[in-house]
Structure formats: structure tokens, C-alpha cells
Chain A
Amino acid sequence: MELIVSVGRREETVAIEEDGQDCYLVRLGDRSYRVNSVATGPGLRSLLVKKVSPGQEDPAEKDSQRQWEISVRPLAEDSYEVSAAGPRASVRVTVEDPLTHQAREALGESGKSGPHRVEALMPGRVIALLVEEGAPVEEGQGVLVLEAMKMENEISAESGGIVRKLLVEEGQAVDSGDPLFEIE
């Protein structure tokens, strides 16, 4: 089975083939892995990963079979928060079957220019709105200020555009995941 996975701007095709209980042959781009995957807790899995690139095995990698314990938490239907407990705290990965991916790509261009909703990453209180509805903003420009743990955090636009809707008011308490504003 093939799936389209993406993290940030990177997009790859992952092919998964079952190879016995808990075991898979996984192809990611031009690399192949044998993976043994078992649950170690809710949303937590231990992967034993062996790189198999037929014909050109790296001698240093030969016979190496690393263990990675990875947390995968579903955020929405097709997106997951993944953490390998390494230096990067966590990444957001989207997984789609090729048909869904194609359908979204077709809608894509309009989808991409459509309004994009920004959500609160942590619970807190809105203490200031820095722009008005309809105002143009540049990438990185602050849109509002959220207070959490006695610290003020400026929430900024991830890309330039027009702030179509402000979905919160000053003084309002927000929970993690609550929509804050829409940007187009």
C-alpha cells in the first residue's frame, strides 16, 4: 500500500508491505527498511529498524538494527504529531492515500489560497489584538498576544496575507486547539 506523507515542505511516498506479524517492508523515497513495530503504550510504539538498500549495503550500517521509540498522536483525520524524543521536540506529519492526496491537490490551488485557520497551541488568555480584520500582514508579523504561565507570547502570521477573521476578543480565555484567526 502506498501513502503520501509530508512534514513541513517535504513530501514523500511511503510504500508499506506486510512481512509477518508486527513486521513491514517500508520504502521511503529511494530507501528501504525492514521495520518491526510494537506498541509500548497508548500512541507509543517501538520500532526496530534495519536499512535494506539491495545491492549497495553500506558496510557501516550492515547488521545494524536500531531501536526507536516514537510517539504518534492523531491530531486530525490525516495528521499526526510525531515525536522521536530526539532533539526536535515533535513534528506534524500528514498521511494521505494517493487518491485523497490527488483530490486535494486538484482542489489544491484554490485550497492553498483559501483562508487558513491558526489555532492556539496552548491554553491562555488573549491580552491584545495587534491587527484589525481585513488588515494585510507580512510573514512573521504579530497578530495577537497570548498570555500563558505569566508570559506573553506573540502569535504571528506564518505567511503573508490578509487577516480575514479574528475569532477571539481581547481578554478571552482560549484552550489549546481553539481557532484564533483566519488568514488568506
Chain B
Amino acid sequence: MTSPNSTRKPLEKVLVANRGEIAVRIVRGLRDAGIRSAVIYSEADRQGLPVLLADEAFCIGPAPSNESYLRGEAIVDLALSIGADGVHPGYGFLSENADFARRCQAAGIVFIGPSPDAISKMGSKVESRRLMMDAGVPVVPGGRDPLPDLATATEAAGQIGYPVMLKAASGGGGKGMRLIRSAEDFPGAYRAARSEARASFGDDDVYLEKYIEEPRHVEIQVLGDHHGNVVSLGERECSLQRRHQKVVEEAPSPAVDPDLRRRMGEAAVQAARAVGYTNAGTVEFLLAENGEFFFLEVNTRLQVEHPITERVTGIDLVAAQLSIAQGEPLAPECYGVEPRGHAIELRIYAEDPYRGFVPSPGRIEHLRWPEGPGIRVDTGVYEGSEVTIYYDPMLAKLIISGADRPQVLARMARALSEIRIDGIRTTIPLYRALLEDEDFLAGRLDIGMLDRKMDGGELLPKERPEEEDLSLIAAALAHYEAGERRSARPAPSGGHRSGWRQSGRLAGVRGGSWS
């Protein structure tokens, strides 16, 4: 296979074209690999953690993304002027922008990701679906073939198999969409969908898709090198989503057994080979209750949730990306990978889950991360950081790992009891509530579950009435002490030690009932 990276060429300095926790993650990976790190930052991010941790940092523009982190041409110019020989795009921003990858290539800079051609092929829904069908990867049955009359449509529905979904060709927002469970309901639903589509979009073209009931989102991590090798590193279960945004992920999936893992892995490798995929990528599937799975899309980059794969495979994915980009063949430990243990990732967003997930920007007044066995925190903020309105509200990822799922759930409860973030609202209360949810505890997940439960008034924070008493007492004490300081009286009862206080401290030393 001919590729600019098939000969080994070490990287000396890499420019990280991203911000926040993923920029920190990549800077750490570069440090580990002994490669000099440079980051870009916007005017709003001068105090961000990536700037504090990298070897070099360069302002790329004002706060809005399109004037800073999305300025592909300026970023390539900067990379050239500072002598960087590689660019890591992270996720989001320019990571799946084929033009940016092409621009890097033209400038003689290694884009740490797949080829521009692979990015653009996978970026098109229509083309990637066609490529996958040609490669024998299962796709959701149905398609955009026009259904001019009832007879054609009925025949197509029979071929796909019920239940089916009728969708308006120029549709969106549920208009002109009809779920049909049996052939006898088909004619009425077909006519209704067409007239609704005509009324809503002025176009009554409709198409059919297989309806998959309450599917899971299960994705496969793949790695490809510049020597023609592609491997699967196993799956991640990402069914817990709110309005198509992942919030909690785990590996391995509670629904995937070794045989299914092997079959999904093979399909993902086929999908990657179909476009000559190199570097790290993720093939997303919908997994039906009966074990059938269907290609969704390929994410041609490092995923947000990559750390759970790192925890259960022992493979450092950023290190793997860097070594692939330097023309190295895949390391022996990347072959025949089976998951060991279990890992869950919680995405900590600066959002109020109980007020429609409204963003909650502001200053982080207090911050204490959980620590101890099985805990990893990937973040771009620290105590005193200002969470601005300009970027994605994800503050951190809490990655919890252990020998098996029950141990990970117990550690998750422990981590959530230790974590402390004041000044802004976060999704942490929702994750505490999840630990009380029977479906989550049993691993019974599907992509609609979180929205369904929240719309149904489930997953509410547990009331603790004594907590309000404590809040009143704490405020009263703070007010009282501030008053004492204002009136500048000598320290009250200085030197006197109450017997109660001493016994309290002793109880503490003995590790008594501190719950």
C-alpha cells in the first residue's frame, strides 16, 4: 500500500488543534512519546489547562470557534511557522474535515488521522452506506428508492419485513413519518404519510426503512496502520444518550458475548478496509434485541469515549495513533484483543439535567476530583476555571474501571460521593440517580431509554431532608462568623477545649461512624 506514512519517520513536534480535555489528553500522549507539544488556544482559553501543560502555546484568534479553532488555513500556517511536523485534530472542530487533512498533507505535515479520501467517503451518509453494502457490512434494510405507488411500496415493505418506518424524503422532525407493524395497516399509513409529507414539505416522496425496536448503540474501535493491517479492539456500549448526545458509555457491552464481539469486529474491520482506513477510527452500529446489528456510520477520529477501551484493553490509543502516524506497524498487543475487566465513562457536563439540560456556565468555585483505585479523570478545567459560553459544555470525563461490572458500579457510587464541583451545575446528580435505576444496574439499555425515563419523571434526585437543615445551619454559621469578624471581638472562648470536641476528634481518628 502506498501512502506518505508507510516509511518510518519520527515526529519531532506536534501541534494540537483542539482545546479542553482532549487537548490535555493529546499533550499527555505526546509527552509520553517524547514528542514536543504545541497547542493553539482562543482568547477565551488562555488560562485553560492545555496551555499550562504543553511545551508551547499559540493564540489562534478570538473566542468564537469559527474565528479560532476552525481556522484550518491559519492553523496549517502556524504549524509550518513553528516547525511542527504533525497536527493532531482531537475530536470535533476540524477532526473530520477532509479539506483540512488535505491542506496538512499538501504542506508536508502529518495529519494524525485517516487519509482525506477516507474522511470524505465516510462523511457522506449515502456514499458510506453504498460502500458498506458493497463490502458486505450489514446496513439498516430499506433505502431511498422512490416508492411511486402503493403496490411498489407494499412489495418493498414485505421484502424488508415488518415493522417498517415510512419517512418523507424531504422530511424531518417526525413529520410524514409512520411506524407500521403489519401489512394490513400499510395502505392507510402509506396514504397518510404521503399527504402529510405533501402538506409539510410540498413533496410527497416517501421511502422505507426497517424499524429497529429499542436498539442499542454499540461501536467498535478499530486501528489501521500504513502497512495494510486493520484490527478491532472490541466494542463500547453507548446507548445512554439524551437527544442523540452520549452521556454514559461502557466497555464491554452487557449485551455482547464473545461470538457477537467477533462478528461485529470482523464487520468493522471490513468497513475500515473498504476505504483503506488508517489510524484510529470507530465503526458505529445499531444492535437489535435479537443480536442483529446494522452499520450506522464511521467516526474518522479519536472518540470522546476512547478511555474505556484503553482501560479494558491496556492499549494507549493516543500512543497507537502517534506510532501509526510515524509509519510504525501495529504493535503485537493490538492483535487478538479480548476485553479484560470492565469500564464506565461518565461525561460531566456543565448542564442542569433537571431543567432541560440548560448550560450552566460560570466559575468553578470548588473542585475536588475523586481518586483511588479504578478512577481516572480526563479534564481541561481546574478550581477557579471559568466555564465559558463558547464551547461544548463537557467539563470532564470520569472513567471508572474494575474487575467486573458490579465492582465498577460500586466504584462509580464511591467516586460520585467524593466528587465536589461548586459554582456551576453539572450532570452529576443524574448519574447518582442512575445508580438507583434497575434497568441501568441490570445493563438493560437502549438509545431511547434516558429520554424516555426523564420525560416520564424518573431519575430524579433523591430528596435528603436533613440536607436542607444542614444548608440552613451552614449559612447561619457563616453569617454569624462573618459578624464576629466584623465586630472584631477577640477570638471567642480561645484556649477552652470542650470535651465534646475532643471526643469528636477521637472518633474521627478511630475511623468511627462518619458515613
Q: Of residues 344 to 377 in B, which have CB atoms within 8 Å of A's CB atoms?
A: 350, 352, 358-362, 365-366
Contact of A176 among B352, B362, B494, B508 (CB under 8 A): B362
> In the assembly, what is the distance between CA of A31 and CA of B67, in Å?
58
Contact of A70 among B461, B474, B504 (CB under 8 A): B474
Q: Mark B479-515, 1 if CB is under 8 A from A, else 0.
A: 1101000000001111111101100100110001111
Write the residues of chain B forming the contact surface with A, with a CB cutoff of 8 angstroms: 350, 352, 358-362, 365-366, 388-393, 419-420, 422-423, 425-426, 429, 432-433, 461-464, 467-480, 482, 491-498, 500-501, 504, 507-508, 512-515
Knowing A71-B366, A122-B359, A149-B389, the reply to whether A14 touches B476 (Cβ < 8 A) is yes
Contact of A65 among B391, B473, B512 (CB under 8 A): B512
Knowing A48-B504, A66-B515, A87-B464, the reply to whether A20 touches B476 (Cβ < 8 A) is no
Is the pair B500, A16 in contact by a Cβ cutoff of 8 Å?
A: no
> In the assembly, what is the distance between CA of A73 and CA of B359, in Å?
21
Is the pair A19, B479 in contact by a Cβ cutoff of 8 Å?
A: no
Q: Secondary structure at chain A's binding surface: helix, strand, loop or mixed?
A: strand
Write the residues of chain A forming the contact surface with B, with a CB cutoff of 8 angstroms: 1, 3, 5, 7, 10, 12, 14, 16, 18-24, 26, 28, 31, 33-37, 41, 43-45, 47-50, 63-74, 78, 80, 82-91, 93, 95, 122-124, 148-149, 151, 153, 176
Please name 24 pairs of A and B residues whose Cβ atoms are closer than 8 Å in the assembled complex, sorted by A.
A3-B480, A7-B472, A19-B498, A21-B495, A21-B497, A26-B473, A26-B477, A34-B500, A45-B478, A47-B470, A48-B508, A49-B473, A70-B471, A72-B478, A74-B478, A80-B478, A84-B471, A85-B420, A87-B463, A87-B464, A91-B471, A122-B360, A148-B361, A149-B393
Is the pair B498, A85 in contact by a Cβ cutoff of 8 Å?
A: no
Is the pair B493, A87 in contact by a Cβ cutoff of 8 Å?
A: no
- B433 neighbours in A (Cβ, 8 Å): 87
The total of Cβ contacts below 8 Å across the A-B interface reads 181
| Further 12 A-B residue pairs, CB within 8 A, beyond A21-B501, A87-B461, A149-B393 | A1-B480, A12-B472, A20-B498, A20-B500, A41-B366, A65-B512, A68-B470, A71-B422, A73-B422, A84-B470, A89-B352, A89-B425
CB distance from A145 to the nearest CB of B (A): 12
- A89 neighbours in B (Cβ, 8 Å): 352, 425-426, 429
> In the assembly, what is the distance between CA of A48 and CA of B507, in Å?
11
- A21 neighbours in B (Cβ, 8 Å): 491, 493-498, 501
> In the assembly, what is the distance between CA of A67 and CA of B514, in Å?
6
- B507 neighbours in A (Cβ, 8 Å): 65
In chain A, what residue has the closest Cβ to B358? A153
Is the pair A28, B492 in contact by a Cβ cutoff of 8 Å?
A: no
In chain B, what residue has the closest Cβ to A124? B389
> In the assembly, what is the distance between CA of A50 and CA of B495, in Å?
22
Knowing A21-B497, A66-B515, A124-B389, the reply to whether A88 touches B467 (Cβ < 8 A) is yes
Is the pair A87, B462 in contact by a Cβ cutoff of 8 Å?
A: yes
Knowing A65-B513, A149-B361, the reply to whether A86 touches B472 (Cβ < 8 A) is no
> In the assembly, what is the distance between CA of A87 and CA of B477, in Å?
22
CB distance from A4 to the nearest CB of B (A): 9
Is the pair B497, A5 in contact by a Cβ cutoff of 8 Å?
A: no
Is the pair B477, A35 in contact by a Cβ cutoff of 8 Å?
A: yes
Is the pair A80, B475 in contact by a Cβ cutoff of 8 Å?
A: yes
CB distance from A51 to the nearest CB of B (A): 9
